[in-house]
Structure 1
Amino acid sequence: MTQIRQRTVVFADLRGSTALFENLGNAEATSVVTHTIGLMRQAIADLGGRTVKTLGDGLMAVFDLPSDALTAAVAMHEALERLVAQGRQRGASPGLRALRLQVAMSYGEVVEMGGDCFGDAVNVAARLIDHAGDNETLVTAELHADLSPAEQRRFRSLEGIKVRGRLEPVHVYALDMPHGADPAATQFGDTPFSHHVPDGIRLVWLDIEKVFDTDQLPIVLGRSTEAAFCITDARVSRSHARIDWHAGSFTLTDLSFNGSYVRFAGSGELLALRRSACTLHGQGAIGLGSSPAEIDAPVVRFEVLHFADTLPHSP
């Protein structure tokens, strides 16, 4: 029987399982992944949701209420966090400790047929997950609007993100870290303090130079022609990294399988991002899929701008 209903669609994707199979072998890694997916399915069922199908290392689920879906997403993140913490205490392999979860949710009209679900809300959630960083939950504006005021305050707006198959950008919100952790901290200490809030960021790749002000963020760096900053190199993912504006600073989040690398000017240190984030400050270079030190690597130079420097440099 075919039904058309307003539903909350959830896609959840477990990252890092490839390394898990390399470290543990097929049998043990399969057991860990199956157990983890089971925890996710239980969190969904506990909140009245229905798992529509499993998708390799992830799943798709639907809920009647966006609030229940949000609670389930938080529960899934917490379940994985406990699993990884237990593994760390017991000396588990690096593969287990590297497991991460991405969640994307949308709300809208869904066609339910033969146990499966179809429609625009399904397509948006399925493609939005490509833009989620490690342990991040992204939701559409339609879903965010249906949450309570207290729940809405847990999110920050990412404004419009270009999603594959959509002509217009999708207004997206990101759930803030549940325990107050700073997802944009670097391993090399705090970001240098500045009394002046940046006005924009300049990106340069080969002969392409663009300046983005804070109102234009977030922007996606990637090989897709729909990316705000397109890098046509085979080593670059379609949606490789995302630059956000949050709390007065620019944040780079890696979205790829090959990683991103940041080297700040004046520092010999190289920051490797694997589905994680860092704060961009000053000037530097971003290697997409390869280190900036490698010959012919796809490297985007960046410069955080203040009001006097927002115009492109003269050639």
Structure 2
Amino acid sequence: MDSAVLFADVAGSTALYELLGDQRAFQLVESCLSTMSACTTEMHGRVVKTIGDAVMSVFGSADEAAAAAAEMQFRVNQLGTEPSVRLSLRIGFHWGPVVQRDGDVFGDTVNLASRLCDLASKGQIITDRSTALRLSGLYAPSLRTLFKVPVKGKEEEVQLIEILWHTAADEMTALVTRPGTGNAGAALLELEMGDTRAEMGPQRRKVTIGRDLETDFPVRNPNVSRAHAMIERRRDHFVLVDHSLNGSYVTFEGRPEMKVHREELTLVGQGVITFGQPADEALQALHYRCVQAWQAPA
């Protein structure tokens, strides 16, 4: 039989224990698991099992899995009560044939769903192209094509699709707050790596970085993943999204270097980003600068 298999994992749970202590962190993770289970049931799915700080669920349709995933992200995002704690999930799901036995499910569909969850960044919902094609038109505005990845056991690379679970809310906010006139300009991001330059803004909303020569900024380094990271424009902010094996290193001007590994970071001011290794070891570095484009009054 065919089912949508979904894996949802609490992002950064190890850091929670270090930040909050065992008791408080355990309570928060348990709340996350309970919330994910409740969302599964409400969307007509079934929780197969919990694995540490992750939930595995099955659904009768891709739409049900997508709805449950979006609801999980929304509700878990509201759970953190401390200002320093922002809870979110990494979610992946795939539609395909499964074998059921003693309440558990097995097969290639399960393996791919688990892999998609592993590839998701903090706060992301990831599926693949074949599953996205099974979604109703309701989800079309929220789908974003990412990149292809090799998957063990698959002859062809798998095309990743992200479901932007917060898109609708963001767009509504933008309509309410957008000024009608004025000389405030659109946010731009200037990027430079060696002889390669790019400018992000309203006309260019994403650039890719990796070892693959087809990325916008190829990096010749074995520590760098083929599809290592990307920078996205989200309204008037630029966000570095790392989905690599070894992480990215960001230095804001005048501040210490920080590592970003399978998570997101909003870029501010100007600075330097290296991929796969710290700046003092890297031969190639991406320099960025956030600027404001001038617009004449309407």
What is the TM-score with the length of structure 2 in the denominator?
0.71
Residues 266-285 of structure 1: pairs in structure 2 closer than 5 A: 272=258, 273=260, 275-278=263-266, 284-285=272-273
- What is aligned with 1:301? 285
SS at match of 2:135: coil
State the one-letter code of the partner of 1:101. Answer: L
- What is aligned with 1:175? 163
Asked whether the 8 Å contact 1:203–1:301 carries over to 2, the reply is no
Task: Give the counterpart of 1:212 among 186, 211, 214.
Answer: 214
Residues 213-232 of structure 1: pairs in structure 2 closer than 5 A: 231-232=221-222
Matched, 1:44 2:31: no
Task: Give the counterpart of 2:21 among 21, 25, 31.
Answer: 25
State the one-letter code of the partner of 1:41. Answer: S
SS at match of 1:163: coil
- What is aligned with 1:59? 55
C-alpha distance in 2, partners of 1:180/1:242?
23
Asked whether the 8 Å contact 1:203–1:211 carries over to 2, the reply is no
State the one-letter code of the partner of 1:191. Answer: L
Asked whether the 8 Å contact 1:203–1:302 carries over to 2, the reply is no
- What is aligned with 1:80? 76
Tell me the alpha carbon deviations over residues 46-105 of structure 1, each in whole angstroms, 9 at most, x when there is no partner: 111111111111111100011111111111011111112xx04xx5xx3xx143211101
C-alpha distance in 2, partners of 1:141/1:203?
21
- What is aligned with 2:183? none
SS at match of 2:79: helix
- What is aligned with 2:188? 191
Asked whether the 8 Å contact 1:202–1:303 carries over to 2, the reply is no
SS at match of 2:68: helix
Note closer, same or farther for the CA distance 1:243–1:32 as it changes in structure 2 (3 Å cut). same
CA drift of 1:124 comes to 0.9
Asked whether the 8 Å contact 1:158–1:244 carries over to 2, the reply is no
State the one-letter code of the partner of 2:273. Answer: A
Tell me the alpha carbon deviations over residues 12-56 of structure 1, each in whole angstroms, 9 at most, x when there is no partner: 110121122123322332222112101110110111111111111
Note closer, same or farther for the CA distance 1:118–1:49 as it changes in structure 2 (3 Å cut). same
- What is aligned with 2:292? none
249-258 vs 29-38, greater mean Cα deviation: 249-258
- What is aligned with 1:100? 88
State the one-letter code of the partner of 1:9. Answer: V
Asked whether the 8 Å contact 1:7–1:110 carries over to 2, the reply is yes
139-148 vs 20-29, greater mean Cα deviation: 20-29
Number of equivalences = 261
C-alpha distance in 1, partners of 2:157/2:123?
23
State the one-letter code of the partner of 1:20. Answer: L
Structure 1: gaps spanning 5 or more residues:
183-188, 220-227, 305-315
Task: Give the counterpart of 1:254 among 238, 242, 248.
Answer: 242
CA drift of 1:141 comes to 1.4
Asked whether the 8 Å contact 2:4–2:59 carries over to 1, the reply is yes
C-alpha distance in 1, partners of 2:220/2:52?
29
- What is aligned with 1:224? none
Structure 2: gaps spanning 5 or more residues:
174-185, 191-198, 289-298
SS at match of 2:170: coil
Matched, 1:71 2:67: yes
Task: Give the counterpart of 1:157 among 130, 133, 145.
Answer: 145
Asked whether the 8 Å contact 2:209–2:230 carries over to 1, the reply is no
Matched, 1:134 2:122: yes
Asked whether the 8 Å contact 2:209–2:215 carries over to 1, the reply is no
- What is aligned with 2:229? 242
Tell me the alpha carbon deviations over residues 141-160 of structure 1, each in whole angstroms, 9 at most, x when there is no partner: 12211111121221111242
CA drift of 1:300 comes to 4.4
CA drift of 1:164 comes to 4.2
Kindly report the root-mean-square deviation, in angstroms, between the aligned alpha carbons of the 2 structures.
4.1
